[in-house]
Amino acid sequence: MNKWIAGARPKTLPAAIAPVAVATALAGEKWDPFLALLALLVSLSLQIGVNYANDYSDGVKGTDDNRIGPMRLVASGAAPARQVKSAAYLALSSAALFGLILALQTTLWVIAIGALAIAAAWGYTGWKNPYGYFGFGELAVFVFFGLVATMGTYYAQTGELTLNSLLVSIPMGCLSCALLAINNLRDRAADELVGKRTLAVRLGDASARKAFISLLLIAHISVLFLLQPWTLLTLLLLPMTFSLIKAIRGGAVGAQLIPLLGTTGKLQLRFAILLSLGLLLS
């Protein structure tokens, strides 16, 4: 079982938890525990599903053969490709089921949005021309784990969309993108060798580092536009943010970036906790 937990890539799960937590806090007195739980289950299932799907697709294509970082089930031989594919199908099917229940409780538009999210999860490295191989992974993450996850969770509980729901989705999307960006920075050299043109490959090492740093800074700056004093609690995380920036600017490469991926996940989770607390106090 431990290999399946590792294959689910737990360090990436804050990307699924954070937007739901922040949107629920923003909902305030209108929050609905059942709908919030459904949104969380959808988000987690999608994140786990895309991780298994990525493991399967990259594994069978051979692009994970010389990869640094977390264990890949298929590439390492820890699990047969068909089992990893089944695990991806199971996780994405769970997302569809929870999404259907959420849609029946709120609006049927959730079904269409969920279908797009599942297609995006598989299409990242799956299918004949995966968009992740052409540098569009960060864009998809921003849309689905930023805008859709945050604003969708808020709408499910309140029945409305507001400017603030858009504003809080921006740091959630940026920090989710930062997780993918540092992952792709770590794998940039290996990806370039096998023709996987992620955004880090397309930008080059120096610009990819600047992009990662920009995502962290935009996350902090975007909170200022909420004009709510208590949300400035997120500034308490600036030392953690600057330590990441220092390491990235210092030229950390390959295996040196593995712990920084975990730190980025912790930053997103702590950011979500402090932002949620600030929204509740406001």
What's the token pair of residue 258? 């593995």
Over residues 142-183, the pLDDT tens digits come to 999 999 999 999 999 999 999 999 999 999 999 999 999 999
Over residues 95-124, the pLDDT tens digits come to 999 999 999 999 999 999 999 999 998 998
Over residues 232-277, the pLDDT tens digits come to 999 999 999 999 999 999 988 888 888 998 899 999 999 999 999 9
For residues 126 and 208, give the distance between their C-alpha atoms in angstroms, rounded to a whole number: 24
What's the token pair of residue 273? 């906790």
Beta carbons of 78 and 3 less than 8 angstroms apart: yes
> For the chain, which domains are there?
2-281 (1.10.600)
pLDDT computed for residue 211 by the predictor: 96
- Residue 133 DSSP one-character state: G
